[in-house]
Chains A and B, each alone.
Chain A
Amino acid sequence: MAAQVVTISSGKGGVGKTTSVANIAVALASRGQRVACIDGDIGLRNLDVVMGLENRIVYDLVDYVEGRCRLRQVMIRDKRLPELYLIPAAQTRDKTAVSPSDMVRLCDELRSEVDWILIDSPAGIERGFKNAVAPADRVLVVTNPDVSAVRDADRVIGILDAEEKGPASLVINRVNPSMVKRGDMLSVDDVLDLLAIDLIGIVPEDENVIVASNKGQPLALDPKSKAGQAFQNIARRLMGEDVPFLELETPGLFQRLLGRKQR
């Protein structure tokens, strides 16, 4: 079966696109799927460090596009999961080194090799974003419950609709249940009211995301992590499973769980 191409975008930077790509990829691969993720952020590559694969890079996306290597040579195999691959961005070039049709060609060649192709879109709505979206079968938009992330997500959702890449699915990342409870953070329902698109994941704020990226080990493999579990659920929903959304605990219990994990 040919792979599905899923692009993860957001508009605003820093909302957790790269973290989402790494974790959804790991979650899919841990469920026996063959996964390739592509870092679309040429010039500002990061997916390699978040996945802990920075020391294995020989060739990058631009090398492939410009014909200096074959597809298999640009696919870096993950340390833990045998059917997880990374195609890294070039660090010393810019977005114009790759065109939307290059991305379509790459994905067409990749489709027969894997089950899922995840593309990490750069922030913004310019060339890098257009490259990342061109080959997409579906797009996930990551946002945070704050005014600027929601506004930028709305712009991106509008552009995806106009380019017939919609309807996008929404990942609401970094939800802080105690702030929502005291009325100082937009709730999941507020964000859905505003953006009016389908939800595919709610990820609670979790300090362990930073710990995991420090180590280069995405936390989707940690069964104790709430955020990791949320990413596993997104992977299951992508695979067509009907998974209920996590109930975000009341602050007391949430804190207790965090406390227990740190022991």
Chain B
Amino acid sequence: MNFLQRKKSANSAKERLQLVLIHDRTDLTPAELDALKDDLIQTISRHVEIDPLGVMINVAQDGRAQRLVADIPLRSAARRRK
């Protein structure tokens, strides 16, 4: 591995801690978060047609609070009618 491109260990520490702390604070494992995403997509799809490939659901940190941020693109009604 190129020494100059070696990732700084402090950066790995920070990235790993960011993920660990989200799970510690929310008591939500990565597997549970995936299950939650699938449920959300299914539920919303019952009401409106969405683009499942464009769905982004993440836990974001806002100070010491966590929020679930979902970006769910809807298919336009005009395109569906064609």
Chain A residues near B (Cβ < 8 Å): 146-147, 150-151, 154-155, 157-158, 161, 180, 182-187, 190, 193-197
Q: Closest residue to B16 on the A side, CB-wise?
A: A147
CB contacts (< 8 Å) of B18 on chain A: these are 194
B71 is an interface residue with CB less than 8 A from chain A: no
Interchain nearest-CB distance for B38 vs A (Å):
28
> Do A158 and B25 touch (CB < 8 A)?
yes
> Do A194 and B14 touch (CB < 8 A)?
yes
Q: Closest residue to B7 on the A side, CB-wise?
A: A183
Q: Closest residue to A183 on the B side, CB-wise?
A: B8
17 extra interface residue pairs, beta carbon distance < 8 Å, beyond A151-B20, A193-B14: A151-B24, A154-B24, A154-B25, A155-B24, A182-B8, A184-B9, A184-B10, A185-B10, A186-B13, A190-B14, A194-B14, A194-B17, A194-B21, A195-B64, A196-B61, A196-B63, A196-B64
> Do A183 and B11 touch (CB < 8 A)?
yes
Q: Closest residue to B14 on the A side, CB-wise?
A: A190
21 residue pairs of the A-B complex, CB under 8 angstroms, read A146-B13, A151-B17, A151-B24, A154-B21, A154-B24, A154-B25, A158-B25, A161-B64, A182-B8, A183-B9, A183-B10, A185-B10, A186-B10, A186-B13, A186-B14, A187-B10, A190-B14, A194-B14, A195-B64, A196-B61, A197-B64
Q: How far is the CA of A146 from the CA of B64 in the complex (A)?
A: 19
CB contacts (< 8 Å) of B24 on chain A: these are 151, 154-155, 158
Q: How far is the CA of A196 from the CA of B21 in the complex (A)?
A: 11
Interchain nearest-CB distance for A159 vs B (Å):
11
CB contacts (< 8 Å) of B63 on chain A: these are 196
Within 8 A of A (CB), among B1-38: 8-11, 13-14, 16-18, 20-21, 24-25
> Do A180 and B20 touch (CB < 8 A)?
no
Interchain nearest-CB distance for B61 vs A (Å):
7
Q: Closest residue to B6 on the A side, CB-wise?
A: A183
Chain B residues near A (Cβ < 8 Å): 8-11, 13-14, 16-18, 20-21, 24-25, 61, 63-64
Interface of B is mostly: helix
CB contacts (< 8 Å) of B14 on chain A: these are 186, 190, 193-194
CB contacts (< 8 Å) of B17 on chain A: these are 147, 150-151, 194
CB contacts (< 8 Å) of A146 on chain B: these are 13
Interchain nearest-CB distance for B67 vs A (Å):
13
CB contacts (< 8 Å) of B61 on chain A: these are 196
CB contacts (< 8 Å) of A183 on chain B: these are 8-11
CB contacts (< 8 Å) of B16 on chain A: these are 147
Q: How far is the CA of A183 from the CA of B12 in the complex (A)?
A: 10
CB contacts (< 8 Å) of B9 on chain A: these are 183-184
Closest CB pairs A-B (n = 5): A183-B8, A196-B63, A196-B64, A184-B9, A190-B14
Q: How far is the CA of A214 from the CA of B14 in the complex (A)?
A: 34
Q: Closest residue to B11 on the A side, CB-wise?
A: A183
> Do A151 and B21 touch (CB < 8 A)?
yes
Q: Closest residue to A151 on the B side, CB-wise?
A: B20
Interchain nearest-CB distance for B22 vs A (Å):
10
Q: How far is the CA of A180 from the CA of B18 in the complex (A)?
A: 18
CB contacts (< 8 Å) of A185 on chain B: these are 10
CB contacts (< 8 Å) of A182 on chain B: these are 8
